[in-house]
C-alpha cells in the first residue's frame, strides 16, 4: 500500500500537478488522510465488507482526485469499481492515473448521480461529497443498494437523518474509528427499504447497466 501511495502522490504532484486534485502534499498526510482513510472501512466494518462481497460492484460518487475509489480498487482486484464525477476534467485525469497505477478494475465516468437509474444491486460510496440528506434522496433504484458515507466525528451535530430513516432508508452501519492524522471518522451505512424514485423527474435518466 505504501508503494501504491508513493506512485499515486508522484502522479498527482508531478505529471498531473496543476489540475488541483489534492491539497495534501506531504507523503505522510497523503497516506493517512487519503489512502488509509479510503480503505479503513474494509478493516473496520464487517457490514461494508459483506456488502462488497455480495455485489462485487462499487460506485463511488464525487471521487474528485480518486478517493476512495482508487485505493479501494487496488485493495479489491476482484471487485468492479465505477466512479461518477460531475467534473469532466477530473474524470479524464483520474482515469489516466488509474491506468498509470495499473488498475484494470476501475472505470471513471463523467456522470452526475442525479441522472442515473441503478438497475443492478450495488454498493455506493460518498467521501467528502456533501450531506447525507442531500445525496441519499437523489438515488433512484428498484434494486437493493448499500450506501456508505465517510464522515467526521461530529456528524450528528452537523446533520439530521431522522427523516430519511422514517421513510425509505434503513441504517445498517454506524461505526467510529481512528485514522491517524484525523480527528476520527464515522462510517454510516444505509440500505433502501423500497423502490426509490429519485428527486429529479427528467427524460435524461440513464440506466446504470449501460455504463458497465
Ligand atoms: C470535495 S470533492 C471530494 C473528492 C473525494 N471524494 C475525496 O474524498 O477526496 C467532491 C466532488 O463531488 C463531485 N460532485 C458533487 N455533486 C455531484 C453529483 N451530483 N454527481 C457526481 N459528482 C458530484 C464534485 O464535482 C467534487 O469533485
CA–centroid distance, residue 209 to ligand 1 (Å)? 21
What are the pocket residues of ligand 1 if the criterion is a CB atom closer than 6 Å to any ligand atom?
Answer: 61-65, 67, 84-87, 90, 112-114, 127-129
Q: Measured in angstroms, how far is the CA atom of residue 111 from the centroid of ligand 1? A: 11
Query: What is the longest distance spanned by two Cα atoms in the chain?
Result: 48
| Rounded distance from Cα 115 to ligand 1 centre (Å) | 15
Count up the domains in the chain and report the number. 1
**Residue indicated by cell numbers 464522515:** 151
Ligand 1: which of 31, 66, 85, 129 to mutate, most ligand atoms within 8 Å of CB? 129
Atom of ligand 1 nearest to the CA of 63: 6
pLDDT, residue 21, reads 81
What string of pLDDT tens digits covers the 212 residues of the chain? 999 999 999 999 888 887 778 777 799 999 999 999 999 999 999 999 999 999 999 999 999 999 999 999 999 999 999 999 999 999 999 999 999 999 999 999 999 999 999 999 999 999 999 999 999 999 999 999 999 999 999 998 999 999 889 889 999 999 999 999 999 999 999 999 988 888 876 778 999 999 99
Going by CA atoms, what residue is nearest to atom 11 of ligand 1? 62
* Nearest-10 Cα torsion for 37, 43, 44, 50: 120
Q: Is 175 annotated as a binding residue?
A: no
Residue length of the chain: 212
pLDDT of residue 25: 74
How many Cβ atoms sit within 10 Å of the Cβ of residue 176?
A: 12
84 alpha-carbon distance from chain centroid: 9
Distance 84 CA to ligand 1 centre (A): 8
Which atom of ligand 1 is closest in space to residue 138's alpha carbon?
19
CA 41 / ligand 1 centre spacing (Å):
19
CA distances for 136 relative to 95, 112, 186, 203, angstroms: 26, 14, 17, 20
83 Cα: distance to centroid of ligand 1 (angstroms): 10
pLDDT of residue 201: 66
Strand bridging mode 116-118 / 206-207: parallel
Predicted pLDDT at 133 = 95
Dist. CA 41–CA 33, nearest whole Å:
13
Nearest ligand 1 atom to alpha carbon 60: 6
Q: Is 62 known as a binding-site position?
A: yes
CATH number at residue 29: 3.40.50.150
167 phi, psi to nearest 5 deg: -100, -95
- What residue has cell string 422514517? 166
Q: Can you give the pLDDT at residue 39? A: 98
The answer to whether 127 is a known ligand-binding residue is: yes
The DSSP call for residue 36 is I
| Beta pairing, strands 145-151 & 185-192 | antiparallel
For 189, the domain range is 2-211
Q: State residue 169's pLDDT score.
A: 95
Name the residue at shortest CA distance from atom 27 of ligand 1.
64
Amino acid at each position: 500500500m505504501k508503494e501504491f501511495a508513493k506512485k499515486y502522490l508522484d502522479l498527482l504532484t508531478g505529471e498531473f500537478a496543476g489540475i488541483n486534485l489534492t491539497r495534501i502534499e506531504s507523503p505522510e498526510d497523503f497516506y493517512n488522510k487519503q489512502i488509509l482513510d479510503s480503505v479503513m472501512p474494509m478493516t473496520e466494518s464487517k457490514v461494508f465488507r459483506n456488502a462488497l462481497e455480495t455485489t462485487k460492484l462499487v460506485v463511488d460518487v464525487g471521487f474528485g482526485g480518486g478517493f476512495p475509489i482508487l485505493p479501494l480498487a487496488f485493495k479489491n482486484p476482484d471487485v468492479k469499481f465505477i466512479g461518477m464525477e460531475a467534473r469532466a476534467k477530473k474524470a479524464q485525469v483520474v482515469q489516466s492515473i488509474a491506468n498509470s497505477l495499473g488498475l484494470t478494475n476501475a472505470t471513471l465516468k463523467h456522470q452526475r448521480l442525479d441522472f442515473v437509474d441503478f438497475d443492478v444491486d450495488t454498493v455506493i460510496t460518498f467521501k467528502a461529497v456533501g450531506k447525507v440528506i442531500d445525496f441519499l434522496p437523489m438515488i433512484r433504484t428498484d434494486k437493493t443498494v448499500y450506501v456508505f458515507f465517510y464522515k467526521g466525528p461530529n456528524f450528528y451535530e452537523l446533520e439530521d437523518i431522522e427523516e430519511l430513516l422514517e421513510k425509505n432508508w434503513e441504517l445498517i452501519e454506524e461505526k467510529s474509528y481512528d485514522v491517524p492524522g484525523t480527528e476520527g471518522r464515522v462510517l454510516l451505512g444505509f440500505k433502501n427499504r423500497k423502490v426509490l424514485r429519485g428527486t429529479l423527474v427528467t427524460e435524461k435518466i440513464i440506466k446504470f447497466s449501460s455504463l458497465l
